[in-house]
Structure 1
Amino acid sequence: MPERLPPNGRVITAEELDHLWTPWTPRTVADRLAAIDAPWYVAAGWAIDLYLGEVSRPHADIEIAVPRAVFPEIVAALPEFDWDVAGAGRLWPYAEARDHPDLHQTWCRDPATGRYHLDVFREPHNGDIWLCRRDSSITLPYAQLIRHRDGIPYVIPEVALLFKARRTAAKDEHDFRRALPHLTPAGRDRLTGWLDRLHPQHEWLAAL
């Protein structure tokens, strides 16, 4: 997390989050963003479920990612909602923290109920090339980064797992074990190389 956060961030507890999140499904997100031309994709655990074609566990939220420069298109597609920036256990109104370079999570909030429905990652990019926010030397064209199932875009599993590798909570371990037998040879090679670079002692390397 960044050392110098914007001022006036509101601390939010895990218990409060459990109450405030009413996540949409990937299908709902895809329907609401159907008119968006910019590349976007379902990320994290839902991406693994879409890759494998089945839901294997509950999801407390839903995360999608977009190139940072085109986030206003997402806002325009959801005009009835407000947005907050999240990070380090705090929340800020989008207008107050949108330009902070180390804060990327942006939560879609229903102003009538206060419930959150969607977490949007505003990701670094260079035109049509995705840049990994944890190591900008890790790149992929969006055409290779995104797959689709039933019209729903999702990130390739090796990228989803790379971000999960940082913490390896129980749900992340679950997703890795499910996805591992189904990774393509290229996907295994990519994930192995990325883990070697970012987490060289990671236990997943032996399994790969």
Structure 2
Amino acid sequence: MRTDYENWEPLTVSNIVELFIDLPITWCLAGGWALDLHLGKQSREHSDIDVIILRDEQVSAYDFLSREWKLYKAQEGVLMSWVHGEFLTDTTDVWVSKNQDSPWAFQVMLVDAFENQWNYRREKSIKKPLNEIIARTNEGTPYLRPEIQLLYKGGSSKVREKDFMDLQTMLPILSTQDKEWLTLSLQRQFPEGHPWIDLIQKQLPSNTLYNYDKRSIKKC
């Protein structure tokens, strides 16, 4: 068990690509680095680095990574060893280091998918086809699309100052379609309201109206 959450020496983006490129699973960079890859430049310092994989492909990832890395599952506020043969059904966050004494190198985030659809764990009615959640840089580096990454940030139980800064950085370059999707998704997760919604809507065409519907996300 470990609790040294601040003990980080993160790999670089190129290190992650080199590590994962030959692993035959769906993966992409996430977090602040995903937004910067979309932006085309580094917008702020990053204290860690995140990789997303599909929950159903965790066995392949474990078998590959555990050859050289020590894997810890985040559970009930502590980091516990992820052992061989253990399938993570509820855990969404895995921390990775070279050994039990070395700094954290990267995190693996498990996301849910069903019938080729990504499912947002915090509000299961929010979905997207798997082939629409990942974008690529000109060099081919896969990263989580910005509107989805911003939903994870804004939809957290604790929105941090850096999450709001990321929203402000990305809003000017998000397409109208992506802003609409993010607004509607936040409305779906937070029907009582969310502080980001008004901010995003101010940057949308004035004739765009929204409706929160319990059965679907739609523009009206």
Give the TM-score taking structure 1 as reference length.
0.86
Unaligned runs of 5+ in 2: 201-220
Q: CA deviation at 1:52?
A: 0.2
Provide the C-alpha distance between the structure 2 equivalents of 1:109 and 1:161, rounded to a whole number of angstroms.
Answer: 27
Change (3 A) 1:34 1:195: same
Q: Is 1:175 equivalent to 2:166 in the alignment?
A: yes
Change (3 A) 1:119 1:125: same
Note if contact 1:85-1:98 (Cα within 8 Å) is conserved in structure 2. no
Partner of 1:72: 59
Match of 1:40 among 18, 23, 27: 27
Note if contact 2:72-2:82 (Cα within 8 Å) is conserved in structure 1. yes
Provide the C-alpha distance between the structure 1 equivalents of 2:85 and 2:199, rounded to a whole number of angstroms.
Answer: 40
Q: Which has the larger radius of gyration?
A: 2
Q: Which amino acid aligns with 1:50?
A: L
Partner of 1:148: 136
Q: Is 1:207 equivalent to 2:196 in the alignment?
A: no
Match of 2:181 among 184, 187, 190: 190
Change (3 A) 1:92 1:129: same
Note if contact 1:32-1:77 (Cα within 8 Å) is conserved in structure 2. no
Provide the C-alpha distance between the structure 1 equivalents of 2:33 and 2:75, rounded to a whole number of angstroms.
Answer: 21
Q: CA deviation at 1:62?
A: 0.8
Q: CA deviation at 1:95?
A: 2.1
Which structure dedicates a bigger proportion of its chain to helix?
A: 1
Three-state SS of the structure 1 residue aligned to 2:5 is: helix
- RMSD between aligned residues: 1.9
Runs of 4 or more consecutive aligned structure 1 residues displaced over 3 Å after TM superposition: 96-101
Partner of 1:160: 149
Provide the C-alpha distance between the structure 2 equivalents of 1:46 and 1:119, rounded to a whole number of angstroms.
Answer: 12
Q: CA deviation at 1:128?
A: 2.4
Provide the C-alpha distance between the structure 2 equivalents of 1:89 and 1:112, rounded to a whole number of angstroms.
Answer: 18
Q: Is 1:55 equivalent to 2:42 in the alignment?
A: yes
Note if contact 2:52-2:110 (Cα within 8 Å) is conserved in structure 1. yes
Mapping for residues 95-114 of structure 1, pairs under 5 Å: 95=83, 98-99=86-87, 101-111=89-99, 113-114=101-102
Cα displacement string for residues 38-64 of structure 1 (whole angstroms, at most 9, x for unaligned residues): 211111211111110111111111111
Q: How many residues align?
A: 195
Q: Is 1:132 equivalent to 2:124 in the alignment?
A: no
Note if contact 1:123-1:133 (Cα within 8 Å) is conserved in structure 2. yes
Three-state SS of the structure 2 residue aligned to 1:28 is: helix
Once the two structures are overlaid, the 10-residue window that deviates more, 182-191 or 80-89, is 80-89
Q: CA deviation at 1:118?
A: 1.2
Once the two structures are overlaid, the 10-residue window that deviates more, 144-153 or 110-119, is 110-119
Once the two structures are overlaid, the 10-residue window that deviates more, 76-85 or 91-100, is 91-100
Give the TM-score taking structure 2 as reference length.
0.82
Higher relative contact order (CA 8 A, sep 6+): 1
Note if contact 2:70-2:100 (Cα within 8 Å) is conserved in structure 1. no
Q: CA deviation at 1:96?
A: 8.6
Cα displacement string for residues 119-138 of structure 1 (whole angstroms, at most 9, x for unaligned residues): 10111111422111112221
Once the two structures are aligned, what percentage of the paired residues are identical? 28
Q: Which amino acid aligns with 2:92?
A: H
Partner of 1:4: none
Note if contact 2:118-2:127 (Cα within 8 Å) is conserved in structure 1. yes
